[in-house]
Amino acid sequence: MNEQHNPWQINGEKTIYDNPWISVTEFDVINPSGGKGIYGKVHFKGYAIGVLPLDEELNTWLVGQYRFPLNQYSWEIPEGGGPFHFDPLDSAKRELLEETGLVAGQWTKIMEMHLSNSVSDEHSLIYVARDLRQETACPEETEQLQVRKLPFEEAYQMVEEGRITDSVSVAAILKVKLMLADGRIS
């Protein structure tokens, strides 16, 4: 099987919804089995950026906020959007400062991933921020945030217990746990 071959045939498309952050397109398709149908795609107009800050004592910071789409409260690593025309690292620096007031002297990109590839093209980049210093947070007006400093191991336990469910946060915390275990981070 050729992994580069697209088995979907697109016969038409129409934009159903569009705003500054996302657009939704409905495609008239013939699926890989030859059946006619529709497929909806959510296109994101920027990156999903995640930052796991980690200090010398292996503490991290989580951000708590009420998530409108889930209708529930969520604990997460600092994260947000980054326009495609900006350097993703600059977006990561901005998000970390906005949400926690932290500035980092050392940055490492630890992973890239697609967040919900059955319905969207959202692409995430995740960084670890080290060599931290505290400044003043300046969250966006739409954000009512609670910032919590805690031992990284406690954040890991929150993932293990299902108290952190945000996919970017879960992936970042599990990746850093592996990196700590095999010595890539100390």
Do both 51 and 21 map to the same domain?
Answer: no
Same domain, 100 and 17: no
Please indicate, yes or no, whether residues 76 and 33 belong to a single structural domain of this protein. Answer: no
Domain range holding 61? 47-181
Q: In what order do the strands lie in the sheet with 72-76?
A: 72-76, 59-67, 146-151
Q: What is the pTM of this model?
A: 0.92
How many domains in the chain?
Answer: 2
Task: Indicate if 62 and 20 belong to the same structural domain.
Answer: no
Rounded distance between C-alpha atoms, residue 128 and residue 117, angstroms: 24
Please indicate, yes or no, if residue 27 is contained in any of the structural domains.
Answer: yes
The pLDDT tens digits for 6-52 are 999 999 999 999 999 999 999 999 999 999 999 999 999 999 999 99
Question: Is there a domain that residue 2 lies in?
Answer: no
CB atoms within 10 A of CB 171: 20
Residue 109 CB contacts under 8 Å (≥ 6 apart), including other chains: 89, 125, 126, 127
Together in a domain, 140 and 168: yes
CATH assignment of the domain containing 150: 3.90.79.10
Whether 1 is in a domain gets the answer no
Q: Are residues 138 and 150 in the same domain?
A: yes
- The answer on 23 and 60 residing in a single domain is no
The answer to whether 184 touches 109, Cβ cutoff 8 Å, is: no
Residues 126 and 96 in one domain: yes
* pLDDT tens profile 158-168: 999 999 999 99
pLDDT at 1 over 70: no
When pLDDT is cut at 50, 70 and 90, the band that residue 122 belongs to is very high
